[in-house]
């Protein structure tokens, strides 16, 4: 019992020491905050420099920390050091004596090390004030609103590369890209079915408006989804977008006339795509420094094919809505739907122009490669139907490998190189007249054209230092891209002409020239950013 009692007294003694240390730290922190407020008040009232204020405060600290010594507790005479502690001989003198907190705060001198730490903490924790710097640092009014604090409140948390939740965002974004880009890029198969069966009385140019206008609607809706996403409304967008997309696809399966296809596939499905596409493009960049947007086209037959697509969209979008999380600041600022002040950034504006010109020619081959194979190369229709799937298979790798290279050597550098290759490949199609050549062209074009879809997203974010407006800027740039997608394919269809007078050379030249102009404009952006240096990551 006596041993247990001694053990209990020792434990109580340790707890008392712990409480004393905690109270000491709390009092020291309060004293530090008081000195900081005093420093700020003195500098505001007297208009002294920061260095003078620090010297004055340090003088006050030294004056308030007068050195007084506390006599050490006498050793316990009842307990010889060479003998074990008799359990019955414990007395109050055995317990160490403690100096009161008030006397500790004023009597213990600050060491030089602790003084330096306090000085660093004061510099780190100090708030903007009217301190006049000896250097050329602008001063701020003490009564002015803290715009810096508001900006910090809206800043996104730092990326969490590699954590499980971050990889879930990649999986969710993959399902969205699978649905949106898979269906958009597969419109060439719809075009072929419409021209040969369902809408065979309409011209190729008229039919291509269904797909190109669907791109425009999708990207225009991104203008409205960007501000909503920046303020944290991710699941609202995914929920409504999923329902609208599934409804639109189900209606496509019931259509028989041109206006019905246009309303269901272009307007309704395009709106649904626009609501869910931007979250996939933006959310991953909040969790990762890189992203992997993937898109694979699907083709199997028509009314029930489209219905199956609708069910696939519904199932995969439920997974995306369950795992994806948007990251916003503590106090996200409200966003304008269209904030034209972003276009004052010349690099951003010219980059958007480059993307616009690029999309004037990008999807032309997606729409017409099957028709080119049957009419020019004499390819069997059963094989021609698979060309779009082959093109999208090449596009799958084209959104992985170039993105990885771009992370090492620069986004615009890789985009420019692949732009030159795409333009050369487009003109090479003028000499391809065989089935084997068309298949090879389809694979290579799918690979080299894919960065035109995946790299504009990180390029826009790299030109936008404020992460809290990434979704807004992406939405505005997508609207511009959508205009290019709207105009490009119908213009190419008009150049191609009707079945009695095809002008394939004009269509091919149109695509090649658009790639050259787009690459030249993006080269201008790179030059404005880093100059004429060739071996610089940009």
pLDDT digits (tens, 9 = 90+) for 302-338: 444 455 556 566 666 666 666 666 655 555 555 555 6
Nearby residues of 37 by Cβ (< 8 Å), 6 or more positions away: none
- Write out the two tokens for 356: 């616009």
Q: Are 173 and 280 in contact (CB under 8 A)?
A: yes
112 and 197 together in one domain: no
CA distance 177 to 125: 44
In a domain, 16, yes or no: yes
Nearby residues of 315 by Cβ (< 8 Å), 6 or more positions away: none
The boundaries of the domain holding residue 35 are 1-69+87-119
Instruction: Report the domain count for the chain.
Output: 2
204 and 283 together in one domain: yes
- Write out the two tokens for 186: 């597969």
Closest C-alpha among 355, 361, 401, 371 to residue 490: 361
In a domain, 10, yes or no: yes
In a domain, 158, yes or no: no
169 and 263 together in one domain: yes
**Share of residues in the chain with pLDDT > 90 (%):** 16
Asked whether residue 16 carries a pLDDT value surpassing 70, the answer given is no
Asked whether residue 297 carries a pLDDT value surpassing 50, the answer given is no
In a domain, 82, yes or no: no
16-25, 257-266, 381-390: least confident range: 16-25
66 vs 239: which has the higher pLDDT:
239
450 vs 298: which has the higher pLDDT:
450
Q: Are 464 and 230 in contact (CB under 8 A)?
A: no
Asked whether residue 509 carries a pLDDT value surpassing 90, the answer given is yes
Alpha helices in 197-302 (DSSP H): 204-230, 234-252, 258-261, 269-287
End-to-end CA distance of the chain: 77
Q: What is the pLDDT of residue 171?
A: 76
Closest C-alpha among 378, 343, 385 to residue 477: 343
In a domain, 538, yes or no: no
290-299, 321-330, 514-523: least confident range: 290-299
Q: What are the pLDDT digits (tens) for 361-380?
A: 998 998 888 889 988 988 88
Q: What is the pLDDT of residue 81?
A: 46
Closest C-alpha among 395, 404, 378 to residue 444: 395
**Three-class secondary structure of residue 49 per DSSP:** strand
Closest C-alpha among 480, 503, 481, 479 to residue 492: 503
Q: Are 189 and 297 in contact (CB under 8 A)?
A: yes
Closest C-alpha among 178, 219, 206, 528 to residue 356: 219
Alpha helices in 83-163 (DSSP H): 101-107, 112-125, 147-154
Q: What are the pLDDT digits (tens) for 411-448?
A: 899 999 999 999 999 999 999 999 999 999 999 999 99
Q: What is the pTM of this model?
A: 0.56
Name, of 9-13, 143-147, 238-242, 499-503, the range with top average pLDDT.
238-242
- Write out the two tokens for 526: 């790179």
In a domain, 96, yes or no: yes
- Write out the two tokens for 183: 């269906």
Q: Are 481 and 355 in contact (CB under 8 A)?
A: yes
Average pLDDT, the chain: 71
Q: What is the pLDDT of residue 535?
A: 80
Nearby residues of 84 by Cβ (< 8 Å), 6 or more positions away: none
In a domain, 14, yes or no: yes
CA distances from 18 to 23, 24, 160, 343, 416 (A): 9, 10, 36, 59, 64
Asked whether residue 141 carries a pLDDT value surpassing 50, the answer given is no
CA distance 163 to 166: 5
Asked whether residue 111 carries a pLDDT value surpassing 70, the answer given is no
What angle, 0 to 180 degrees and rounded to 10, lies between the N-to-C axes of helices 387-398 and 164-185? Answer: 150
Nearby residues of 114 by Cβ (< 8 Å), 6 or more positions away: none
**Cα 171 to chain centroid, rounded:** 15
Number of Cβ within a 10 Å radius of residue 530? 15
Asked whether residue 382 carries a pLDDT value surpassing 70, the answer given is yes
Mean pLDDT of 82-91: 46
pLDDT confidence band for 537 (50 / 70 / 90) = confident
Number of Cβ within a 10 Å radius of residue 104? 16
Name, of 45-54, 162-171, 271-280, the range with top average pLDDT.
271-280
Closest C-alpha among 179, 321, 301, 169 to residue 246: 179
Q: What is the pLDDT of residue 56?
A: 52
Which contacts qualify for 252-261: CB closer than 8 Å, 24 or more apart?
252/306, 253/302, 253/303, 253/304, 253/306, 253/307, 253/310, 254/303, 255/198, 256/198, 258/199, 258/202, 258/206, 258/207, 261/194, 261/198, 261/199, 261/210
111 and 168 together in one domain: no
267 and 403 together in one domain: yes
Q: Are 360 and 484 in contact (CB under 8 A)?
A: yes
176 and 102 together in one domain: no
Asked whether residue 219 carries a pLDDT value surpassing 70, the answer given is yes
For residue 479, give the CATH number of its domain: 1.20.1250.20
422 vs 34: which has the higher pLDDT:
422
301 and 361 together in one domain: yes
Number of Cβ within a 10 Å radius of residue 535? 7
147-161, 453-467, 504-518: least confident range: 147-161
334 vs 199: which has the higher pLDDT:
199
Q: What is the pLDDT of residue 523?
A: 94
CA distance 441 to 429: 7
Q: For residue 49, list its beta bridge partners.
A: 132
CA distance 436 to 444: 12
291 and 214 together in one domain: yes
* CA-based R_g, the chain, Å: 34
Q: What is the pLDDT of residue 262?
A: 92
102 and 179 together in one domain: no
Q: What is the DSSP string of 422-433?
A: HHHHHHHGGG--
Q: What is the pLDDT of residue 120?
A: 44
290 and 389 together in one domain: yes
pLDDT confidence band for 58 (50 / 70 / 90) = low
Q: What is the pLDDT of residue 419?
A: 92
95 and 243 together in one domain: no
Q: Are 107 and 30 in contact (CB under 8 A)?
A: no
In a domain, 156, yes or no: no
216 and 331 together in one domain: yes
Q: What are the pLDDT digits (tens) for 469-489?
A: 777 788 888 888 888 888 888
């Amino acid at each position: 019992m006596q041993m247990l009692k001694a053990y209990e007294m020792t434990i109580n003694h340790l707890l008392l020491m712990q409480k004393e240390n905690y109270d000491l730290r709390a009092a020291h922190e309060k004293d530090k905050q008081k000195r900081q407020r005093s420093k700020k008040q003195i500098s505001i009232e007297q208009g002294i420099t920061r260095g003078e204020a620090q010297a004055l405060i340090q003088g006050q600290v030294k004056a308030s920390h007068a050195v007084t010594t506390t006599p050490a507790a006498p050793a316990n005479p009842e307990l010889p050091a060479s003998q074990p502690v008799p359990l019955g001989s414990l007395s109050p003198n055995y317990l160490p004596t403690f100096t009161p907190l008030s006397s500790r705060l004023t009597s213990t001198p600050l060491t030089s090390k602790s003084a330096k730490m306090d000085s660093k903490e004061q510099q780190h924790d100090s708030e903007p004030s009217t301190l006049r710097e000896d250097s050329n640092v602008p001063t701020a009014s003490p009564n002015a609103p803290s715009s810096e604090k508001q900006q910090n409140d809206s800043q996104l948390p730092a990326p969490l590369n590699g954590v499980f939740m971050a990889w879930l965002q990649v999986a969710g974004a993959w399902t969205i890209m699978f649905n949106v880009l898979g269906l958009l890029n597969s419109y060439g198969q719809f075009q072929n079915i419409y021209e040969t069966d369902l809408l065979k009385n309409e011209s190729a140019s008229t039919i291509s408006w269904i797909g190109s206008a669907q791109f425009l609607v999708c990207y225009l809706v991104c203008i409205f989804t960007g501000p909503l996403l920046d303020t944290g409304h991710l699941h609202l967008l995914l929920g409504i977008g999923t329902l609208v997309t599934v409804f639109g696809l189900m209606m496509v399966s019931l259509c028989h006339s041109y206006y019905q296809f246009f309303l269901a596939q272009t307007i309704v499905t395009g709106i649904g795509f626009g609501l869910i596409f931007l979250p996939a493009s933006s959310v991953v960049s909040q969790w990762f420094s890189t992203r992997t947007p993937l898109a694979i086209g699907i083709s199997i037959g028509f009314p029930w094919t489209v219905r199956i697509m609708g069910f696939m969209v519904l199932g995969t979008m439920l997974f995306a809505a369950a795992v994806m999380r948007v990251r916003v600041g503590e106090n996200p600022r409200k966003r304008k739907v269209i904030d034209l002040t972003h276009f004052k950034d010349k690099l951003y504006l010219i980059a958007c122009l480059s993307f616009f010109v690029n999309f004037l020619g990008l999807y032309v081959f997606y729409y017409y490669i099957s028709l080119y194979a049957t009419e020019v190369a004499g390819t069997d229709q059963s094989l021609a139907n698979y060309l779009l799937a082959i093109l999208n298979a090449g596009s799958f790798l084209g959104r992985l490998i170039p993105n990885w290279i771009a992370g090492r050597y620069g986004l615009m550098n890789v985009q420019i190189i692949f732009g030159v290759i795409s333009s050369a490949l487009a003109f090479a199609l003028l000499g391809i007249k065989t089935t084997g050549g068309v298949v090879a062209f389809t694979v290579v074009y799918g690979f080299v054209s894919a960065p035109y879809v995946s790299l504009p997203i990180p390029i826009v974010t790299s030109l936008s230092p404020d992460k809290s407006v990434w979704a807004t800027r992406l939405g505005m740039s997508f609207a511009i891209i959508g205009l290019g997608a709207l105009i490009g394919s119908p213009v190419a269809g008009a150049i191609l002409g009707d079945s009695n007078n095809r002008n394939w050379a004009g269509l091919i030249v149109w695509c090649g020239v658009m790639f050259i102009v787009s690459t030249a404009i993006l080269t201008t952006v790179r030059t404005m950013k880093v100059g004429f240096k060739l071996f610089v990551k940009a």
